[in-house]
Amino acid sequence: MTSQNFDGKNDTITPEQVQYWDQKHLIHPWSEFSEDGFDMTQVSRADGIYLYDAHGNKLIDGPGGMWCVNIGYGRKEMADAISEQIMNMTYSSPWFTTNEPAAMLAKVISEKTPGDLNRIFFSNGGSDAVDTALRFVQYRNNVLGKPNKKKILCREKGYHGSSYLAATVSGTGREHDRRFMDTHHDLAIMLPNINPYIRPKGTSLEEWCDAKILEMEETILSIGADQIGCFIAEPILASGGVIVPPPGYHQRSIELCQKHNIIYISDETVTGFGRLGHWFASKEIFDIQPDIITCAKGLTSGYLPMGAAIISDGLIDDIKNIEGSQPFTNGYTYSCHPVAAKAALTNIDIISRDGILEHVREISPHFQNRLRDLGEKYDIIGDARGVGLLGCLEGVGSKNSSEKARLKIDTEFGQMMDEACEKRGLLVRPIINMCVFSPPLIISRSEIDQMFDILEDAIVEVHKSFT
């Protein structure tokens, strides 16, 4: 791009102009600041499970936006509901007023959560939903006269957001992405990677689970349960590479928390609202009853920003009417936003009416079978894993590969798969040596086949570059 005179006043804005403005002015998440701008895929429109780039190319949205476009793009009734609410009432202060969409949404969510998870704090997204949950734990322990019970158990390869507190308890890529980003290191207690894929040769899943639970208990005893306020965990470690904990891990970890009076926070930002075929995965899939659930993304299917921290009645009942306590002074300008709440209500109605949860449960076995077939067929795939409509292909070098080739796979496999897929009509999410995907929940069986056919062609191409 050579011209420096784009002013945005042209009757026709070209893709080149958009690319220039992007590189000149827009800071993206996880941006690298360099002299040479990065040409990002420019999306011009979307419909169903498809995105269309600035040149008209049709692309399957493999990541489902960012794990979030559950009901697909272009839902007119979503647009109509949002527009209607905007014209009726755009905003009301969550400090001084309530509004019908937010109150109704809180009621609807409480009907879909397990147990006594009935109290909902609305946020702008997943990061501040997590922040809210963690700050509530700290606040609650202060009210109960336990000011030292503040440390947070979390997991390597877990991801909980980019705000300061949420980033502190995130373990994804901590070897490289925290070099220049400060976090509260003394607050977070990072438990080692639970990924069964990395377990030592000859170690069974049962033995691996035993080892991970022992690590957790030894950590609690070493730090002291009186110092630990909560444990935060994703049911599936999504951004860490769709890591599925070994069978029994969730039940045993929550039993440890209950034994040591540690609050259990289940971060369902990715798994909530249908990704695994249920409104929430904690109870239905993993048979655990958390004290707090956080969610976002699928709550509105990405049509508007919104998240929530869902807190049990029991946690709040314990601190009711305590003399001398102060308000929970956590809040956001856009908490309880009526337009976002209306979008969430409409999204939930669509999921229910169209039988999307049932569809996910029906179609997931085919999705997972196609995924695992790739892992069994190609040596360059070290692991093919997933649950529901979540999948990950992890690249690995063969024993016969040179050290240089193995290093290249370790650092570039995801990016190479991304490029090979995109030119064939599929977007995926590259994460170092992994290729991750979570398509819109409305995807059909034939579209799943199309997606995996592209993935297989891409694997063949990438494999050739290493041989």
CATH number at residue 452: 3.90.1150.10
* d(C-alpha 302, C-alpha 445), whole Å: 23
Confidence of residue 79 (pLDDT cuts 50, 70, 90): very high
Residues 333 and 275 in one domain: yes
Per-residue tokens: 267: 């971060």
Q: Which of 327, 353, 379 is the last residue of a domain?
A: 353
Q: Is 266 found in the same domain as 185?
A: yes
Q: Per residue in 431-441, is it b (16+ CB within 10 Å) or e — as a string? A: bbbbbbbbbbb
Q: Which of the four pLDDT bands, split at 50, 70 and 90, describes residue 234?
A: very high
Residue at 279: amino acid letter: W
Residue 33 included in any domain: no
Contact 79, 72 (CB under 8 A): no
Which residue range is the domain that position 284 belongs to?
76-353
For residues 106 and 210, membership in a common domain is answered with yes
- Statement: residue 170 has pLDDT above 80: yes
Confidence of residue 99 (pLDDT cuts 50, 70, 90): very high
Burial letters for 24-57: b for 16+ Cβ neighbours within 10 Å, e otherwise? eeeeeeeeeeeeeeeeeeeeeebebbbbebeeee
Please state, rounded to an integer, the average pLDDT across all residues of the chain: 93
Measured CA to CA, the distance from residue 156 to residue 194 in angstroms comes to 8
> For 236-260, what is the mean pLDDT?
97
Answer yes or no: is 26 within a domain. Answer: no
pLDDT at residue number 325: 81
- Which region among 33-47, 332-346, 398-412 has the lowest average model confidence (pLDDT)? 398-412
3-state secondary structure of 37: coil
Instruction: Answer yes or no: do 286 and 198 share one domain.
Output: yes
Which pLDDT belongs to residue 75?
98
Of 35-44, 191-200, 351-360, 439-448, the poorest mean pLDDT is in: 35-44
Q: Reduce the DSSP state of residue 318 to 3 states and report it.
A: coil
Judged against a pLDDT cut of 70, whether residue 35 lies above it is answered with no
State the Cα–Cα distance between residues 407 and 395, nearest whole angstrom: 11
Q: How many domains does the chain have?
A: 2
| Interval 273-329: pLDDT, tens | 999 999 999 999 999 999 999 999 999 999 999 999 999 999 999 999 888 788 999
User: Is 156 a domain residue?
Assistant: yes
Residue 400's pLDDT band (cuts 50, 70, 90): low
Q: How many CB atoms lie within 10 A of CB 111?
A: 9
Residues 249 and 180 in one domain: yes
Stated pTM of the model: 0.94
The Cα angle at residue 431 between residues 254 and 465, in degrees rounded to 5 = 140
Residue 173 has pLDDT above 90, yes or no: no
Backbone angles phi, psi at 167, to 5 degrees: -65, -35
- Per-residue pLDDT, 37: 64
Name residue, tokens 């976090």: 183
Q: Which residues contact 336 (CB under 8 A, 6 or more apart)?
A: 92, 94, 98, 99, 102, 122
Burial of 178: CB neighbours in 10 Å, binned 0-12, 13-18, 19+: middle
Same domain, 159 and 54: no
Q: Is residue 409 part of a domain?
A: yes
